[in-house]
Amino acid sequence: MPLLVTGTVGIDTVITPTGRADDVLGGSAAYFTLAASLFSPVRVVAAVGDDFPPSFRAMLTSDRIDLRGLETREGSRTFRWAGKYLENMNQRETLRTDLNVVAEAPPAIPDAFRDSRVVFLANTHPAIQWNMREQLPAARLVVCDTMDLWIHTTRDELMKTLAVVDGVIINDSEALQLTGQSNPITAGREVLRLGPRFVVVKKGEHGAVLVTPEGVTVVPAYPSERVVDPTGAGDSFAGGMIGYLAAKDSFHYAALRSALARATVVASFTIEDFSVRRLRDVTCEELDRRVAEFTRMLAIG
């Protein structure tokens, strides 16, 4: 199942209580891509500026990642984001967001990507997400993410996007801001009424809830003892989930539940180091071992 992702590929500066990383590879599509590629080949559609370091492109290069849709736009600047985590690492403050190339025309979808069957519209301007979905009529599963910035500044465009997707993966505060509901399950059900047939509400270190008309599934987070930088956990979660579904070629409730466990495990690797450092180095053996450990932990009889 060819899997395509569109979102931001950018340059982040991250400050945590224990350290900082300046001008490192980040962006929703960057994390998603590396995570999803653990399960399935991934096609990337995103734009960066001519200031995007070649070494960052190299970090995304692998035989499972097709970068023909990663456009370098001459005269434009790359998306930049800076954030700071509070003492408990659960809350973060955005210090700055420079949309730069993301505020320009959407990246072009290469003709060779038009047959993509699974599409993830990672966090970016909802008008770009909608535009991408319209251009990919062969897609059988389209899932999106969003964030508070877009909920507050581009709500109407976001509603239009939600009406044309099959699934949504968002975090609890976003689900609450989007629906006005204070309970993640009720908020998930409200989101279902906007169009999608499944919603995953992520709750950080408290796990995630899958809400569908067939049922509700809750998973805890993987019990990580070493959290260095939570940035990208959500995008890696989405990458693990959608990459697994694309590999299985099944989007039924049972597959969604299995995907939830993979998503949780992939996110647990991301947070062990800054940027994509840990995620990039995860081996199949490490992944399989942690998935087995996590699913054993869930089977409590």
The residues that touch ligand AMP, with contacts defined as CB under 6 A, are: 8, 10, 12, 26-28, 81, 97, 123-124, 147, 149, 231-235
CA dist., res. 243 & res. 22, Å (int): 29
Q: Closest CB to ligand AMP among 234 and 243?
A: 234
- Expressed in angstroms, the distance from the first to the final Cα of the chain is 34
Residues found in the chain? 301
Pairing of β 10-16 and β 19-26: antiparallel
Minimum CB separation of residue 138 from ligand AMP in Å reads 25
CA dist., res. 95 & res. 130, Å (int): 27
Minimum CB separation of residue 98 from ligand AMP in Å reads 10
Minimum CB separation of residue 59 from ligand AMP in Å reads 13
Minimum CB separation of residue 192 from ligand AMP in Å reads 22
Q: Closest CB to ligand AMP among 123 and 179?
A: 123
Residue 191's CB is within 10 A of a number of other CB atoms, namely 24
Q: Closest CB to ligand AMP among 26 and 243?
A: 26
Q: Closest CB to ligand AMP among 81 and 113?
A: 81
Residue 117's CB is within 10 A of a number of other CB atoms, namely 16
CA 120 to each of CA 12, 36, 85: distance values in angstroms, whole numbers, following the listed order: 21, 10, 27
- Show the tokens assigned to 132: 């991408």
CA dist., res. 209 & res. 216, Å (int): 7
Minimum CB separation of residue 238 from ligand AMP in Å reads 8
CA dist., res. 78 & res. 195, Å (int): 32
Q: Closest CB to ligand AMP among 101 and 219?
A: 101
CA dist., res. 65 & res. 67, Å (int): 6
Minimum CB separation of residue 105 from ligand AMP in Å reads 16
Helix or strand (DSSP H, E) at 147:
none
Q: Closest CB to ligand AMP among 154 and 183?
A: 154
Nearest to 222, CA basis, from 233, 212, 231, 210 = 233
Residue 153's CB is within 10 A of a number of other CB atoms, namely 11
Minimum CB separation of residue 233 from ligand AMP in Å reads 5
Q: Closest CB to ligand AMP among 28 and 268?
A: 28
